[in-house]
Amino acid sequence: MGHNIKQKSGQKIECDHPLYHLKRKVWNSHVDCYPATIFECANEEDVIEAVQYANEHGLKITVRGGGFHPAGTSVKDNAVLIDLSKMNRVHIDEVSNIATVEAGAKTFEVDEITQEYGLAVPLGMNSNIGVSGLALGGGIGYLRGKYGLTSDHIVGVYLVTGEAKLIYVNRFEHPELFWAIRGAGANFGVVTKFEFNLVPVGQHILGIDVIYDYKDYKQIIEKAEIYRQNAVDEISFSIAITKMENDKKCVRLGGMYIGDLNIQVEKEIIQPLLELATPIADYTGIMPYIEMQRNFDWYVQNGFAIEGISLFFNELNDAVINILMEELEGSHFPASVHLIEIHGEMNRISNYETAFHIRDASYLVIVEAEIGNHPEKTQAWIQALYEKLLPYSYNQISYLNSSNVNEEIIRNSYRRIEKRLVELKKEYDPKNLFCPEHNLIG
């Protein structure tokens, strides 16, 4: 049977195109970049053409799946922007329990289909973010305790290399590249399609959502750490400490439990998280998995302007907590500190299995600040905070899916695996078309 080549149906958008200014935007409104050309791709042939164009014109390439990276890495001045947002099909194979997901799909587009089967791909904690960037950089979500990261469930990808060749990558074909794309995947080409292993997750889960008084933050963090040390795999949670416009501050604990519920579970596993201090409000309850995935979407609405950093930690000792709270209290703009606990399956996978090599950290800390009328002040505050926290962090490693991205941050995060990444970069992207913020080869 002959193989039908799909007709190209994407479009090339130059700077004089009526859609150019709309298409160059990302959700973080502080990012204001002017790509040389935008290729809105409808299929793999369009992607190959875009990479060939970049090669012919000596231009770098950025790739937009969902366009929700806080640092706006999917768009750069005078680069070719490969926009995959039209490539968002999802297919479930019930026999093999594999989801085939095109690289432009967003979390909700995958969840809505997989949940019809009582299955899920472990994705992030928001429904409107892109699957591609999440998966290639790790992917920390509510299912991390039971099932690990998004990247741990990649069983294969289709990828267009820097030399415009479409290849299939899995543990048998291009195994070194398969190691790399699961954690450092944005460096080597354009992933057009993922194959994910699916896991069982019922359509209804217990969504945990409690608001506490800010004055109790120290007690909450200390009790949460004791809880984390013995936490069952079926639960995960994070603590958000937020300073709002009016200088008001609150502590919010959000999480998910996906196990069976009974009186003993409610008393021993759920209740302790609802009583870390006296709650102001408690919205905990049984709800659809899809609804819980949407619960905090307001954190990543279009039009937000933020600066952010992230670091992993072995422990949140008094020095770390004091730095975070003193800086939060002293900031002159709204800001949030997110303490994302880590335990279970995410930590059981070997450091050497994938390029996401942060497997025995206990917390991921993400700090985000709103950019007001004086962006330079917010940027200076974020950078100073990063430098203060760095000595206490887990090997100075950031979560590159949720961080400002600069030479120092990427070099710190890749230090232990840089040699392997450089070898692969020379093989699959010899002209260094991808990820110009950090030259693995240069």
Q: Which residues of 198-228 are buried (b: 16+ CB within 10 A; e: fewer)?
A: bbebeebbbbbbbebebebbeebbebbbebb
Task: Report the alpha-carbon distance of residue 177 to residue 191 in Å, rounded.
Answer: 12
Identify which of 307, 329, 317, 340 has the alpha carbon closest to the alpha carbon of residue 236: 340
* Mean pLDDT across the chain: 89
pLDDT digit string, tens, across residues 216-273: 999 999 999 999 999 999 999 999 999 998 889 999 999 999 999 999 999 999 999 9
Q: What is the distance, to the nearest Å, from the Cα of residue 374 to the centroid of all Cα atoms in its chain?
A: 27
4 burial level (CB within 10 Å; 0-12, 13-18, 19+): exposed
Instruction: Give pLDDT, residue 10.
Output: 80
8 A C-beta contact, residue 98 and residue 58: no
First to last CA, the chain: 45
Integer-rounded Cα radius of gyration of the chain: 21
Q: Regarding predicted confidence, which is higher, 372 or 86?
A: 86
H or E element that contains 381: helix 375-389
Top mean pLDDT of 32-41, 56-65, 324-333 is at: 324-333
Task: Report the alpha-carbon distance of residue 255 to residue 232 in Å, rounded.
Answer: 13
Mean pLDDT across 194-203: 97
pLDDT digit string, tens, across residues 125-178: 988 888 998 999 999 999 999 999 999 999 999 999 999 999 999 999 999 999
Identify which of 231, 211, 186 has the alpha carbon closest to the alpha carbon of residue 282: 211
Identify which of 119, 27, 42, 108 has the alpha carbon closest to the alpha carbon of residue 74: 27
* Rounded percentage of the chain residues whose pLDDT exceeds 70: 90
3-state SS class at 265:
helix
8 A C-beta contact, residue 355 and residue 182: yes
pTM of the predicted model as reported, rounded to 2 decimal places: 0.91
Instruction: Give pLDDT, residue 282.
Output: 98
H or E element that contains 337: strand 335-341
